[in-house]
């Protein structure tokens, strides 16, 4: 099959690689129908994440059709259409039982965090989904069947973007009447803005330096935009226009 692989800093290629196989009884193999590039994939190709061997398959935002199932898989069956959340999680450790799947105690023998698809040996060494096929371990936990009437483009963001942006808004404690500053207007920032609107934030200020992203953010009713290149000290400017600072600041850039 073909896959996108890491071959060194700023060196990513499409190559023919070995097809994935069922390795454990609760694995599945999916035929990938849609996948996406995450901003954090850029951290990989810029050499910011350690333990990235050459030939490592990238990608952690993936969905597709179940092709093969291990004998102990009961949650999904062959031909089901599923999304694959980016954390690899066992479902039964202390962290998973408390809903903290990204901190799974059993999916990553190489570090303190849980496993992540396509994100280096530091995060478990799981091959990623920017490929024609993907092996999904712990298939009774992560894969989720999606309705056939929904197109891939309508549900693909459920693999990472929507839950990640919601989590940021949730742990930030955004509530009705708040003033919120959102740093970064990529997919995470833009969806975080929508969650803030749904939560009733009174004032939302979106910050970026990319024109089309700021234009998109401004298309949401009532959202203010700030291009940080227009100011010598954007932080001081934000303090000034918010009379001392926002109630919540969401960093949707990372690194």
For residue 254, name the pLDDT band (cuts at 50, 70, 90). Answer: confident
With a cut of 90, say whether residue 255 has pLDDT above it.
no
> Would you state the structure tokens that stand for residue 37, as one six-digit string?
């590039």
**187-246: pLDDT as tens digits:** 999 999 999 999 999 999 999 999 999 999 999 999 999 999 999 999 999 999 999 999
**46-101: pLDDT as tens digits:** 999 999 999 999 999 999 999 999 999 999 999 999 999 999 999 999 999 999 99
Q: Cα-flanking dihedrals φ and ψ of residue 191, to 5°? A: -75, -30
230-to-114, 179, 183, 211, 241 alpha-carbon distances in Å:
40, 21, 15, 12, 15
pLDDT for 236: 97
The dihedral sign for the CA sequence 183, 152, 115, 9: negative
Using the 8-state DSSP alphabet, how is residue 143 labeled? Answer: -
**pTM for this structure?**
0.91
pLDDT for 111: 85
For residue 105, name the pLDDT band (cuts at 50, 70, 90). Answer: very high
Average pLDDT, the chain: 97
Domains of the chain, each with CATH number or no CATH: 2-159 (3.90.180.10), 163-251 (3.40.50.720)
Q: Could you give the angle at the alpha carbon of 194 between the alpha carbons of 156 and 232, nearest 5°?
A: 110
With a cut of 80, say whether residue 114 has pLDDT above it.
yes
């Amino acid at each position: 099959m073909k896959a996108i692989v890491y071959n060194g800093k700023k060196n990513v290629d499409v190559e023919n690689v070995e097809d994935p196989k069922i390795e454990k009884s609760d694995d599945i193999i999916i035929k990938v129908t849609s996948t996406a590039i995450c901003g954090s994939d850029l951290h990989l190709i810029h050499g910011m994440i350690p333990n990235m061997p050459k030939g490592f398959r990238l990608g952690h935002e993936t969905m597709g059709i179940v092709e093969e199932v291990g004998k102990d898989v009961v949650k999904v069956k062959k031909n089901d259409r599923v999304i694959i959340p980016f954390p690899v999680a066992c479902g039964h450790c202390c962290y998973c039982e408390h809903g903290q799947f990204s901190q799974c105690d059993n999916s990553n023998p190489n570090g303190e965090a849980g496993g992540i698809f396509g994100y280096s040996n530091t995060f478990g060494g799981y091959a990623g989904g920017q490929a024609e096929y993907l092996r999904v371990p712990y298939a009774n936990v992560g894969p989720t069947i999606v309705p056939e009437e929904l197109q891939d483009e309508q549900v693909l963001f459920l693999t990472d973007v929507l839950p990640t942006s919601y989590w940021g808004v949730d742990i930030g404690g955004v509530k009705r009447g708040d003033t919120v500053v959102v740093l970064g207007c990529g997919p995470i920032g833009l969806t975080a803005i929508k969650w803030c609107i749904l939560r009733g934030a009174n004032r939302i200020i979106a910050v970026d330096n990319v024109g089309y992203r700021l234009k998109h953010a401004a298309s949401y009713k009532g959202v203010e935009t700030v291009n940080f290149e227009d100011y010598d000290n954007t932080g001081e400017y934000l303090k000034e226009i918010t009379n001392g600072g926002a109630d919540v600041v969401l960093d949707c850039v990372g690194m």
